[in-house]
Amino acid sequence: MFAPIPDRYLIPLMALIVAVASVLPLGSIDMIGAGLLDEAGSYDLGAAGLVLLALGAIAFGIAFRMSPGASGLLLAIGSILIGWALVQRVWAGLRFDGSIGLWLLLAIIVYSAWQGMARLAQQSYVVARLLVPLLFGGLLVYLWEVLTVGFDVPAVLLPAPSQIAQVVIANSDILRIDFHQTFIKAVIPGYFMGCAIGFLVAVAIDRSDFLQRGLLPICGAISAMPIVGIAPIMVMWFGFDWHSKAAVVVIMTFFPMMVNTLAGLQSAGAMERDLMRSYAATYPQTLLKLRLPGALPFVFNALKLNSTLALIGAIVAEFFGTPIQGMGFRISTEVASMDIDMVWATIAVAAVAGSLSYGLLALLERAATFWHPSQRGIG
């Protein structure tokens, strides 16, 4: 359904649609109808529109000789240029009224970006594969920005990304202290302890039938306990500082690591296990040379899953008692005072931290399990 269509059909059609959408009204500025190519103060939007039309003409001229990677990059650049022209109009005061010109222009931005990403995703070189998630994330943020500002969505409901970025910059010192309290002090220690304990318990359960039948159900029951019930208990046990939040993180990350590691250890095939027995290999030798390497993809799945669970657990735990700092503390206090911009700024910092953690673990997984079938074909 979303497969790339031939350039000889796509690019001329897109150039025509851009030309039509450029002359249609998108909304109004000070109650006066305005379109994409109307001048607006210091913004030279007429020149931007001409660049877009020239891009369509150039693409039409070379469409029959472009490689998929080149056409994908051209489509991505085209969507960025069209989007930049539109967001300039929005920042200059354009407010949408739901006209057909707006939806036509947004549709061509989304579709050209989608087609560009579809082509780039087929390439084997690293730069193209890195561009795909960047373009996809940028497209979502862009639509968020244009629609919230263009339709005058109240900031108390949903602030624009540019507004959130301004709050982050203006309150960088406070957010840095909160990040240190939550992520550095609570998330990282709790994450490593929870993952390590879960891994060791999985190895023990795999070794002992007694533990597999007796301990595994208990671990499942512990993981089913709600975090809103565990967090106050941990605060009473370990105090209001980061220790209680780290304890919550340990509980949240323990079970996913144990279950995934156990599944990985048991994934070794019967033929491989028989081969190790034919060599008179001991259990430690079989574990180190066969079962643990085969379990690495499962372990990394748990590590990536826990990278987000740990941050969520620490933030929620801070709702139930913490020093006057921390991401959870900041969210709860700012919500009470209706400072929603600061709440979103804290959420943005947490989202970036979680995404970077997940990305780092994905890179480590690729380096450690390059031999696994799941990594084949990844450039």
The answer to whether residues 340 and 235 belong to one domain is yes
Residue 32 has pLDDT above 60, yes or no: no
Q: How far is CA 11 from the centre of its chain?
A: 30
Inside any domain, residue 161:
no
Inside any domain, residue 2:
no
- Range among 9-23, 56-70, 284-298 rated most confident: 284-298
Inside any domain, residue 302:
yes
The answer to whether residues 149 and 174 belong to one domain is no
Residues of the domain holding 317: 168-375
- Which of 153, 185, 219 delimits the end of a domain? 153
The answer to whether residues 98 and 216 belong to one domain is no
- Which of 107, 130, 153 delimits the end of a domain? 153
Mean pLDDT across the stretch 214-242? 77
Task: Return the pLDDT at 237.
Answer: 84
Please state which of the ranges 30-34, 308-312, 339-343 shows the lowest mean pLDDT.
Answer: 30-34
The answer to whether residues 100 and 184 belong to one domain is no
Inside any domain, residue 98:
yes
Q: What is the pLDDT of residues 80-96, one digit of tens each?
A: 877 887 888 888 787 88
Task: Return the pLDDT at 190.
Answer: 92
Residue 57 has pLDDT above 80, yes or no: no
The answer to whether residues 181 and 124 belong to one domain is no
**One-letter amino acid identity for 363?**
L
Inside any domain, residue 158:
no
* CATH code, domain carrying 200: 1.10.3720.10
The answer to whether residues 92 and 210 belong to one domain is no
Per-residue confidence at 60, pLDDT binned at 50, 70, 90?
Answer: low
The CA distance from 335 to 314, in Å, is 18
**Alpha-carbon torsion angle 151, 160, 352, 139, nearest 10:** 40
The answer to whether residues 366 and 294 belong to one domain is yes
Inside any domain, residue 163:
no
- Which of 99, 129, 153 delimits the end of a domain? 153
Mean pLDDT of the chain: 79
The answer to whether residues 40 and 121 belong to one domain is yes
Inside any domain, residue 162:
no
Per-residue confidence at 41, pLDDT binned at 50, 70, 90?
Answer: very low
Per-residue confidence at 148, pLDDT binned at 50, 70, 90?
Answer: very high
Inside any domain, residue 20:
yes
The answer to whether residues 254 and 365 belong to one domain is yes
In this prediction the pTM is 0.77
The answer to whether residues 246 and 363 belong to one domain is yes
The answer to whether residues 213 and 132 belong to one domain is no
The answer to whether residues 24 and 107 belong to one domain is yes
Contact 283, 273 (CB under 8 A): no
Task: Return the pLDDT at 45.
Answer: 44
Structural domain tally of the chain?
Answer: 2
